[in-house]
Amino acid sequence: MRIPKEMRAWRTDGEGHRALRLDTVQVPTPRPHELLLRVRACGVCRTDLHVTDGDLPAHQPWIVPGHEIVGEVVSVGARAVGHAVGGRVGIAWLRETCGSCRWCRCGAENLCPESRYTGWDADGGYAEYATVPAAYAYRLPVSGADLELAPLLCAGIIGYRALCRANVPPGGRLGIYGFGASAHLTAQIALAQGAEVHVLTRDPGARRLALDLGATSAGAADGRPPVLLDAAILFAPAGELVPIALAALDRGGTLAVAGIHLSDIPRLDYQRHLFHERTLTSVTSNTRADGESLLRLAGRLGVRATVTPYPFEGAADALADLADDRVSGAAVLVVED
């Protein structure tokens, strides 16, 4: 396969998503343990906004965002095992961990202090080509459209970990606060597993999508669900919803905060928000095992992403639409041949 020397890539310099630039740069050379992919689709995640807009500290002076990458392997490093040219693989947010710290050694590589991330520490998928350490690349099923698989790679995986962290009892009542890309995939898994789902979001379009997918109720983000909840997941990056969601929990319930970034949490009241053994927990990245489980489950349960496609040239528009809540489901960049 002929690999060109140059490619088009969207890059940010930390001056905000409106300063994202489409540049011509060198196609990266994979290191011995890496794969080179021709990018076919890349999901647009809220974390990309946190990277471009400086909510997360810059790790590189210039960075290509994007960490929901579906691509075709076009080159395999000399020490990259388990992958072959022509395979369809996914690149996700977790890019590399140290493999030797106490978290890595006990199955909690998501907590590795040396972990590195795609589209933050290393260039991501808003480009025609991207590299990935082979050990962190996901083999994807041969069926399924690229643009429907892309959102699974972060929105799907992080939502799945959040669902696990929320400890929904069998047949339990799950509240979902915020209903974007991650939430609409997570709701499908929870419903397929027998949970009763209540969605709370400010966007009327998202409320309609929630009901279409089978949610029992869909109301305003700061409203009260019709029943007390056994578990809740906060997807909206809005700290002011934390006490509201905690107050909606039944005794023994858990609130999992799924985002990497959250605005300030207002003062909590011990009796109203935490007593009766309610649990408040965060969700930090994911392990590769989470990713493998989510991809397997999504296939078995028929989880389908609702996708708003954008041409590759429209990356800046996609981020602006996401920032202004104009995206239904998941925004995905589609890279044409």
Applying CB under 5 A, which residues contact Zn ion?
45, 47, 97-98, 101, 104, 112, 154
Cβ-based neighbours of 277, under 8 Å, separated by 6 or more = 251, 252
98 or 274, CB closer to Zn ion? 98
39 or 104, CB closer to Zn ion? 104
In the chain, how many H helices and how many E strands? 8, 17
97 or 186, CB closer to Zn ion? 97
What is each CA distance from 295 to 10, 226, 318, in whole angstroms? 28, 32, 25
Calculate ∠ Cα 288-294-300, nearest 5°: 140
CB of 283 to Zn ion, least distance (A): 12
Cβ-based neighbours of 224, under 8 Å, separated by 6 or more = 248
Q: Which among 258, 287, 90, 71 has a CA at the least distance from the CA of 181?
A: 258
Amino acid sitting at position 89: V
25 or 108, CB closer to Zn ion? 108
CB of 97 to Zn ion, least distance (A): 5
The 10 Å Cβ neighbour count of residue 171 is: 10
CB of 19 to Zn ion, least distance (A): 20
70 or 104, CB closer to Zn ion? 104
CB of 266 to Zn ion, least distance (A): 26
CB of 274 to Zn ion, least distance (A): 29
